[in-house]
Each structure stands twice: as C-alpha cells, then as structure tokens.
C-alpha cells in the first residue's frame, strides 16, 4: 500500500486490473475447466480463461462473481469462489500493463454455456486437454496454479462438496476426489473416512438407487469446513 513519501496520484504508473477465472466442474466424471475463444489480437483464436476488467466501484470478489455469472449464464454464483493469486508480469499482455487477480471457482455440473448470451464462445474443456493445448497469455500457468489449489484443498477441507449438488451420496463425493486427483480411491476406506468425520455429512434419512447396486444413503453438506486429519493424495 500507499507508502508515505511524496504522494501524487498522477505520478504513479496506472495499470489495468482484471480478474481471470479458473472455473472447474465435473462433467461425466471428468474434471473440466471453462474456456473462451479469443476473438481478437493478441492471441486471436486461442483459448483463454474467462475474465474481464474490474469496474471502478466494485470489489475484486464482486468482479469475479459478476464475471462468473456472465460467463456461465446462470442467475446465482453456484458453488465456491475464492481468490487464487495475482499475476502481474510486465510482459504478460503486450498491449499494456495488466495485473490480473485470478479466482478459483468450483461448481456442480453446469449446463453447456448458452449460445447467444455473453457466454457464447465459452465451453467446458477437460483439464487434461486444456493443460496440454496452448492457452492465451500466462493462462496455462494460472490454470496449473488453480488446479493445484483445488487438489490441495480437497485434502484438508470439505471443499469437494462444492462440486456436488445439494444432495449427494458418498459415491458422488468419492467421484469428485477421483476426478480431481486423477486416482482411484478405496471405496471402503473413503466411506469410513467421510462418514467418520463429525459435521462433514448430514444424513437426510433417505436413500437413492442409481440403477445397479444397493441404494446409497443421501447426504447434504454438513457444517464442518475442515478435515482433521486430512485426506492425503499420496497414498
């Protein structure tokens, strides 16, 4: 902030501040990220993270939430939204100095972004494919940081429920972990862990049959936000 010496608003370099979003969801058991196709230079035709400029009287969080609803075409902000980190290399945008505050959003399975809306040109891309293909600006780095944050937070928070609809089964939750971590988990040990963590799951008393197999108990997210001890990735 705002150091003491010699303040004059016109003396200081002004930069543009944007928010970029890493929006993750699960589609058909696959972890996907929302990408847009750029219509202009630089990086015309390349895929990029959705984002936009922060408005003059808007909080950073509010700007991220606004962009999220604009790009997904939904009414409310679904799931979870948190600040990731900021990126401000002088070279990251050839046009001018742009500092971008990246946000991470996690959402339950969302519909394909509607064409015709602001969300036109946006699409869900499996993260393996998105990480492989080139992305505009430094968005590959931002995506990688967002993925790492998501993977890490599943270990020690109840954030996985943000990928689930309001009611879900233990198998649904396990599918989240398996998709985000890209690794199968033992159903029995996973069940023991999540049902044994106080406050993580709230039993609705109902069950749901999904075709084959024994019906599963239906839960809602409980009040707990942290996992102690954590659920580790390594194995």
Partner DNA sequence: TTGTTTGTCGTCATCTCGACGATAAAGGAG
Partner DNA sequence: CTCCTTTATCGTCGAGATGACGACAAACAA
Q: Considering CB distances under 5 to 8 angstroms, the limit depending on partner class, which of DNA, a second copy, none binds residue 210?
A: DNA
Token pair in block for residue 28: 């058909």
Choose between 139 and 193: whose C-beta lies nearer to DNA: 193
Q: Is the dihedral of CA 145, 64, 18, 9 positive or negative?
A: negative
217 binds, among DNA, a second copy, none (CB under 5 to 8 A by kind): DNA
Nearest to DNA of 80, 191 (CB atom) = 191
Query: What phi and psi values does residue 230 have, to the nearest 5 degrees?
Result: -70, 170
Which of DNA, a second copy, none interacts with 5 (beta carbon under 5 to 8 A by kind)? a second copy
Which among DNA, a second copy, none contacts residue 114 (Cβ within 5 to 8 A by kind)?
Answer: none
Residue 121 DSSP class: T
Between 137 and 190, name the residue whose CB sits nearer to a second copy.
137
Residue 156 zone, left/alpha/beta (φ > 0; ψ -120 to 50; rest)? alpha
Q: Are the C-beta atoms of residues 105 and 79 closer than 8 Å to each other? A: yes
Task: Please state the closest distance from residue 121 (CB atom) to a second copy, in A.
Answer: 8
- Distance between CA 98 and CA 16 in Å, rounded? 5
> Please, how many CA atoms are within 13 Å of residue 113, restricted to the half-sphere of its CB?
25
Shortest approach of DNA to residue 176 CB, angstroms? 13
Q: How far is the CB of 189 from DNA (least distance, A)?
A: 5
Residue 57 binds which entry of DNA, a second copy, none, with Cβ cut-offs from 5 to 8 Å by kind? Answer: a second copy
- CA 225, 229, 235 angle in degrees (round to 5)? 115
Residues that bind DNA (CB under 7 A): 169-171, 186-189, 191-193, 195-196, 207, 209-217, 229-232, 235
Site of interaction with a second copy (CB under 8 A): 1-5, 7, 9, 12-20, 36, 38-40, 48-60, 67, 83, 85-90, 93, 95-101, 121, 136-137, 139, 228-230, 232, 234
Q: Which is nearer to a second copy, 120 or 185 (CB)?
A: 120
How many other CB atoms are found less than 10 A from the CB of residue 226? 12
CA dist list (Å): 88 to 95, 99, 136, 179, 205: 13, 4, 15, 31, 50
């Amino acid at each position: 902030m705002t150091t003491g010496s010699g303040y004059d608003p016109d003396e200081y370099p002004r930069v543009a501040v944007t928010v970029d979003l890493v929006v993750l969801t699960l589609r058909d058991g696959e972890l996907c990220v929302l990408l847009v196709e750029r219509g202009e230079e630089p990086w015309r035709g390349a895929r990029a993270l959705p984002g936009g400029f922060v408005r003059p009287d808007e909080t950073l969080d509010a700007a991220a939430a606004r962009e999220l609803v604009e790009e997904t075409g939904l009414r409310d902000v679904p799931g979870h939204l948190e600040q990731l980190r900021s990126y401000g290399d002088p070279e990251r945008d050839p046009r001018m100095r742009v500092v971008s505050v990246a946000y991470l959003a996690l959402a339950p399975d969302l519909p394909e972004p509607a064409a015709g809306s602001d969300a036109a040109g946006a699409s869900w891309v499996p993260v393996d494919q998105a990480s492989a293909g080139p992305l505009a600006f430094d968005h590959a780095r931002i995506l990688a940081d967002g993925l790492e944050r998501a993977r890490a937070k599943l270990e020690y928070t109840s954030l996985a429920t943000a990928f689930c609809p309001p009611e879900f089964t233990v198998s649904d939750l396990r599918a989240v972990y398996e998709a985000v971590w890209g690794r199968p988990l033992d159903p029995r040990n996973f069940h023991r862990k999540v049902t044994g963590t106080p406050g993580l799951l709230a039993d609705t008393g109902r069950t749901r049959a999904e075709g084959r197999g024994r019906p599963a108990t239906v839960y809602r997210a409980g009040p707990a936000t942290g996992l102690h001890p954590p659920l580790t990735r390594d194995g």
